[in-house]
Amino acid sequence: MLRSAIRLLAAGTIAVAFAGSAAAQNQADWDKVIAEAKKEGKVSLYTSTLGAPFHLDIIKAFQAKYGITIELLDVRASELDERIRTEQASGRYNADVVQHGSASLLTTYDRPGILQARGTVPNQKNLGTLFAEGASDTRIPSYVLPYGILINTDLVKGADEPKSWKDLLNPKWKGKIVSDDFRALGGGSVFFSVTEDKLGKDFHEKLSQQGIIFSRDVGNDERRVAAGEYPMRIPQLASNTLRMKGLPIKLVIPEEGMTFVRFDLGILKGAPHPNAAKLLTDFYLSPEAQLIYANAGMGSVINGVGEKVTSDAKAFAGAKFLGTNNPDTLNAQLDRAKALYK
Q: Rounded to 10 degrees, what is the CA torsion of 97, 298, 330, 213?
A: -130
229 binds other proteins (CB under 8 A): yes
89 binds other proteins (CB under 8 A): yes
Q: Give residues 270-329 in contact with other proteins (rule: CB under 8 A).
A: 327
Quick one: 3 or 76, whose CB is closer to other proteins?
Answer: 76
Stretch that binds other proteins, among 158-166, 201-209, 238-246, 315-323 (CB under 8 A): 238-246
User: What is the residue-wise DSSP string for 98-129?
Assistant: EEEEHHHIIIIIITTT-EE-----GGGGGB-H
Question: How many residues line the site for other proteins (CB under 8 A)?
Answer: 59
Beta-bridge partner residues of 1 = none
The number of CA neighbours under 13 Å toward the Cβ of 125 is 1
Q: Which of 38, 166, 223, 269 binds other proteins (CB under 8 A)?
A: 223
Contact between 295 and 310 (Cβ < 8 Å) = yes
Please report how close the Cβ of residue 205 comes to other proteins at its closest, in angstroms: 20
Q: Which of 13, 27, 78, 170 binds other proteins (CB under 8 A)?
A: 78
Please report how close the Cβ of residue 245 comes to other proteins at its closest, in angstroms: 10
Quick one: 5 or 89, whose CB is closer to other proteins?
Answer: 89
185 binds other proteins (CB under 8 A): yes
Beta strands 69-74 and 139-152 are unpaired
Q: Which of 4, 90, 129, 311 binds other proteins (CB under 8 A)?
A: 90
* Burial per residue of 59-89, b for 16 or more beta-carbon CB atoms within 10 angstroms, e otherwise: bebbeeebebbbebebbebeebbeebeebbe
Question: Which run of H or E residues covers position 266?
Answer: strand 258-268
Q: Which of 61, 72, 155, 315 binds other proteins (CB under 8 A)?
A: 72
| CA distances in angstroms from 319 to 22, 76, 153, 215, 315, listed in the order given | 37, 27, 21, 26, 7
156 binds other proteins (CB under 8 A): no
Q: Which residues bind other proteins (CB under 8 A)?
A: 44, 50-53, 56, 71-79, 81-83, 85-92, 94, 103-104, 107-108, 181, 183-185, 213-220, 222-224, 226-229, 240, 243-244, 246-247, 327, 330-331, 334
